[in-house]
Structure 1
Amino acid sequence: MARRSWVRAVATAAAGALALMAGLFGTGPAHADAADGARGMTVRFVEHELFIGSEPPNAFVAYRWKVAGEGAVHHVHLTVDLSGVADFAEPAPSEHCDGNLCTLDLASATSDYHAITLVPKPGAAIGSSGTMTVSGTASDATVTGDHVTLTNGRTDLKVSAFADEPDHVPGDMLTFPLTVWNTGRLPAAKGVELRIDTTAGLHLQGSWANCRDVSASGRGGHIVHETLCDFPTPVEPGRRYALSSPLRVEVGDEALHDEIIYAFTPLAGAAPANGPGTPLTLVPDGATPSDGNSEPSFTTYVDSVNHADFAVTGDTATGRPGGHATLHVTVVDRGPALVEDLLDDDVALSVTVKLPPGTKATKIPDGCHVPGTDGSYRGPRLGWTTYECDFGDPAPGDRHALSFTVAIGPRTPAVSTGRIQTEEFFEGFDPDASNDSAALTLRLAQDGSAGGGSGFVSGGWIAWAAGALALAAGAAAALSRRSRAGD
């Protein structure tokens, strides 16, 4: 009976506490209280300047939403308002829109995106422009919207294409008579900008008043040189224009696998002031071609005869059975060509190290791993007789020193020879094979000196030396006695 009274007392106290909390914080549903600390949800257009193009003749208006914090928000209603562009654009028939409003309802939302398609109205003026907005509401979040500018028509620039260039040697000169044309419905009214990107083995020749070299650090990949040229000449729809003089590019000593990228974009403002010299200009060159490159940029690949050289040096060490020895080797990139694979940013020079027979590694350099693995192998790395070593991004002048400490087994030959060998990672890796491998030789010491070994002296050897000394002492005593007997 006492236990029941205690339970009732606890229940009564809990009810009182709940009532007190209800009085302080309200008794409505949990989601209704979210307004006191509403979460945030942002809706942003993917692009903030859109054009109704001619290929295809429409515009894709994409927007994304993202919820701050963990979990979803609920009862979301998003609206894209097209009234600012209604004079020249309308939703495609497949879109679910009512008049100038396109809506999207979501029971819950975290992060996602949606897109609608707009087409030009019949007879709409080319160049018309306006603003669209996106906004929204949610039952438990504050929604922040966005806006985007839409223009009827666009500038579609194309640049001439050139065949790839094989089998070059340093000193060769390449010529690129670039042309640019506009297949769009709007002119590049303020002119165009030409960007020229090249890899290490190609060098743009010449200096012009309207061109400037800029840092290529943000270009990524293998691009190391970047030049920008600004042309204030408007590029009209349906017209082609040529450079007043072709680009000339020299193949340098670094050349092996290279590329040149040339790209035209419309100028957004006045052309900036550049360096001294005569300007490079655009001159009319007829009508838009009926075929050709369909992009505003093009890449020409230039392959040169390989004149890179990788060299390895070996070593000779001495030691004793049961002891240790250290072998030192070097790997040198003698250049001058820069060995890189334009299709792979993770190029590495590799060498295979085969330790002398009868030995096993007790210490290996960083960057060396068990054959057939990529360095992530979690098994034992020591105790093997063969290793692969990688050096990322090989560059002319690089020198790598490697040291391997080995334990010498009891059956190691008096002269035991291993090898270090460079490995090809693509065809034509190194045309000079004379220095691609070298011997790693271990000699067993015979004269009491451990040479390049650890200086370890075995107990057997000590007993053998002690016995030899005793034998020598006995022989000397016998000779002394014989001498006295003869007297």
Structure 2
Amino acid sequence: MARRSWVRAVATAVGALALMAGLFGTGPARADAADGARGMTVRFVEHELFIGTEPANVFVAYRWKVAGEGAAHHVHLTVDLSGVADFAEPAPSEHCEGDLCTLDLASATSDYHAITLVPKPGAAIGSSGTLTVSGTASDATVTGDQVTLTNGKTQLKVSESAEQMDQVPGDMLTFPLDVWNTGQLPAAQGVELRIDTTAGLHLQGSWGNCRDVSASSRGGHIVHETLCDFPTPVEPGRQYALSSPLRVKVGDEALHDKIYYVVTPLSDAAPANGPGTPLTLVPDGATPSDGNHEPSFTTYVDSVNHADFAVTGDTATGRRGGHATLHVTVVDRGPALVEDLLDDETGLTVLVKLPPGTKATKIPRDCYPPGTDGSYHGPRLGWTTYECYFGDPAPGDRHLLSFTFAIGPRTPAVSTGQIQTQEFFEGFDPDASNDSAPLTLRLTQDGSVSGGPASGSWPPAGTGLGGGWTTWAAGALLLAGGVAVALFRRSRGGNRP
């Protein structure tokens, strides 16, 4: 019997070991096979770089990422500089030997690294070559990448224009435009000029080398976009002027506007454009020493405000202890488009004060207690005053707001509140005559309740509002007492044998 028990114990132990082996693996060979299938990618952050420009050095950054969960181990990454060795070399601070810069990592999941290259003295401008990054890991397959590096660059600039203030609809603005190249390489195939304007500015003219395109992806309040292609090479150290200045008309929508232009090298042949005499670039002397240092510029244009917002009030009738509803409207009468170019989140706000003696039981979606905003998560019902928000007001917009409220026991026979527009920047509505309107509640002649709670009870049933009136409190206490007695009797009855 003892021998049989010992054999059974050994068999049980062997079975347990077999189960553990099945769950956790029998050795490193199977784990290594699984890890060996893991992939790790290494990619350059940019795939076209320039050296010898402003500034003269260049940072070559690359990122790596391991697919799936866990890390790759014993990672060895190499950046090969042999393709650009004729004109570029690593900075003295880099850990490189010859044309190879390496990085060793005990483990890696996701991160990045950068090396600094500097131009070799006397290197030929325009030289170009390719850098590659590759790597190995003990438990992952590494996929590398490459980047093109060029010695020298085309660096285009455009002229500045002064801000335009106090414009009125119908004004015609003129924007002379100069382009120059402070780089080492020419824009050999020419340049492209992009002109963006907001709603209140209208670019005048039609040219054979310009075309209107969709501005839907531009953002920042841009609604018009024009592209002009100039096949004229723009040489280093030279300045060029437009054959005629840009002319822009101030429209009825104008208030806070801007015109933005940017110039970039053409990389392909200029596409077909619209009818009309082409704009051209005319040589205009040497590069200025104190001009704009960017390929783009924004000119802001402010116009005298002639936007108008209007509100309408309402009158409702009701009885104490009952409910009533007021309907009000908010209208953007234009014609100016009121927006803040520096803030995409601005909008029109109105303040609604319900008649005294009432509390809201149903309100519009975008209305909140005063001093709060859309992030407010407290109780929104039961207040008398609200702020309502309308994002991106546009001429012709009309908003209807309906407020349902409970009428308290001490509400006057005639009770008047107000709706009032609020400014989100100074002078946004110069016509104040229609910026506010009364919200009036008139009680029926006897002021009694019809079909609702007894006269003087508050709040009405179903409102969910807190009270404070003696009648309501006494009723609540009586009700609570009755429930308590009933529960006590049920409890005692339930304990009988």
Q: TM-score, normalised by structure 1?
A: 0.89
Q: Specify the code of the residue in structure 1 equivalent to 2:220.
A: G
Partner Cα distance (1:65, 1:365) in 2: 51
- In the other structure, the counterpart of 2:104 is 105
Q: Deviations over 1:33-55 (max 9, x none)?
A: 3345x222211111111111421
Partner Cα distance (2:26, 2:32) in 1: 10
- Give the Å deviation of 1:295: 0.3
Is the contact between residue 53 and residue 184 of structure 1 (CA under 8 Å) also seen in structure 2? no
Q: Deviations over 1:165-211 (max 9, x none)?
A: 11111111111110000000000000000000111111100000000
- In the other structure, the counterpart of 2:188 is 189
CA, structure 1 residues 302+18, in 2 after alignment: closer, same or farther (shift >3 Å)?
A: same
Is the contact between residue 351 and residue 422 of structure 1 (CA under 8 Å) also seen in structure 2? yes
Q: Specify the code of the residue in structure 1 equivalent to 2:28.
A: G
Residues 1:427 and 2:429 aligned together: no
Partner Cα distance (1:257, 1:18) in 2: 73
- In the other structure, the counterpart of 1:28 is 28
- In the other structure, the counterpart of 1:179 is 178
Q: Deviations over 1:121-161 (max 9, x none)?
A: 11111001111111111222221111111110000101001
- In the other structure, the counterpart of 2:490 is none
Is the contact between residue 82 and residue 132 of structure 1 (CA under 8 Å) also seen in structure 2? yes
Between stretches 231-240 and 81-90, larger displacement belongs to: 81-90
Residues 1:395 and 2:397 aligned together: no
Specify every segment of 5 or more residues in structure 1 that has no aligned partner in the other structure, as ranges. 462-487
- Give the Å deviation of 1:70: 2.5
- In the other structure, the counterpart of 1:10 is 12
3-state SS in 2 of match to 1:374: coil
Partner Cα distance (1:412, 1:20) in 2: 80
- In the other structure, the counterpart of 1:311 is 310
- In the other structure, the counterpart of 2:209 is 210
Output aligned runs, 1:274-289, within 5 Å. 274-289=273-288
Partner Cα distance (2:101, 2:44) in 1: 14
Output aligned runs, 1:274-423, within 5 Å. 274-423=273-422
Is the contact between residue 332 and residue 397 of structure 2 (CA under 8 Å) also seen in structure 1? yes
Q: Specify the code of the residue in structure 1 equivalent to 2:13.
A: A
Partner Cα distance (1:448, 1:371) in 2: 30
- In the other structure, the counterpart of 2:470 is none
Q: 4+ residue runs of structure 1 moved beyond 4 angstroms?
A: 1-7, 16-22, 447-450, 455-461
- Give the Å deviation of 1:72: 2.2
3-state SS in 1 of match to 2:53: coil
Q: Specify the code of the residue in structure 1 equivalent to 2:55.
A: P
- In the other structure, the counterpart of 2:60 is 61
Q: Specify the code of the residue in structure 1 equivalent to 2:350.
A: V
Q: Deviations over 1:447-487 (max 9, x none)?
A: 7999xxxx7566559xxxxxxxxxxxxxxxxxxxxxxxxxx
3-state SS in 1 of match to 2:308: strand
- In the other structure, the counterpart of 1:50 is 49
Is the contact between residue 259 and residue 299 of structure 1 (CA under 8 Å) also seen in structure 2? yes
- In the other structure, the counterpart of 2:473 is none
Partner Cα distance (2:215, 2:370) in 1: 37
Q: Specify the code of the residue in structure 1 equivalent to 2:14.
A: T
CA, structure 1 residues 446+97, in 2 after alignment: closer, same or farther (shift >3 Å)?
A: same
Is the contact between residue 132 and residue 149 of structure 1 (CA under 8 Å) also seen in structure 2? yes
CA, structure 1 residues 364+222, in 2 after alignment: closer, same or farther (shift >3 Å)?
A: same
Superposed CA RMSD? 2.1
- In the other structure, the counterpart of 2:127 is 128
Q: Specify the code of the residue in structure 1 equivalent to 2:268.
A: G
3-state SS in 2 of match to 1:280: coil
Partner Cα distance (2:418, 2:5) in 1: 87
Q: TM-score, normalised by structure 2?
A: 0.87
3-state SS in 1 of match to 2:79: strand
- In the other structure, the counterpart of 1:223 is 222
- Give the Å deviation of 1:27: 2.2
Specify every segment of 5 or more residues in structure 2 that has no aligned partner in the other structure, as ranges. 457-497
CA, structure 1 residues 289+19, in 2 after alignment: closer, same or farther (shift >3 Å)?
A: closer
- In the other structure, the counterpart of 1:443 is 442
Output aligned runs, 1:77-156, within 5 Å. 77-156=76-155
Between stretches 179-188 and 420-429, larger displacement belongs to: 420-429
Is the contact between residue 193 and residue 262 of structure 2 (CA under 8 Å) also seen in structure 1? yes
3-state SS in 2 of match to 1:87: coil
3-state SS in 1 of match to 2:28: coil
Is the contact between residue 333 and residue 396 of structure 1 (CA under 8 Å) also seen in structure 2? yes
- Give the Å deviation of 1:120: 1.3
- Give the Å deviation of 1:113: 1.3
- Give the Å deviation of 1:376: 2.6
3-state SS in 1 of match to 2:334: strand
Is the contact between residue 320 and residue 456 of structure 1 (CA under 8 Å) also seen in structure 2? no
Q: Specify the code of the residue in structure 1 equivalent to 2:155.
A: D
Q: Specify the code of the residue in structure 2 equivalent to 1:34.
A: A
Q: Deviations over 1:198-254 (max 9, x none)?
A: 111111000000000000111122111100000000000000000000000111111
Output aligned runs, 1:193-272, within 5 Å. 193-272=192-271
Q: Among the aligned pairs, what percent are the same residue?
A: 81
- Give the Å deviation of 1:26: 5.7
Between stretches 134-143 and 303-312, larger displacement belongs to: 134-143
Q: Specify the code of the residue in structure 1 equivalent to 2:60.
A: V
Q: Deviations over 1:239-281 (max 9, x none)?
A: 0000000000111111111111111000001111101100000
- In the other structure, the counterpart of 1:482 is none
Is the contact between residue 319 and residue 447 of structure 2 (CA under 8 Å) also seen in structure 1? no
Partner Cα distance (1:99, 1:30) in 2: 40
Q: Specify the code of the residue in structure 2 equivalent to 1:336.
A: P
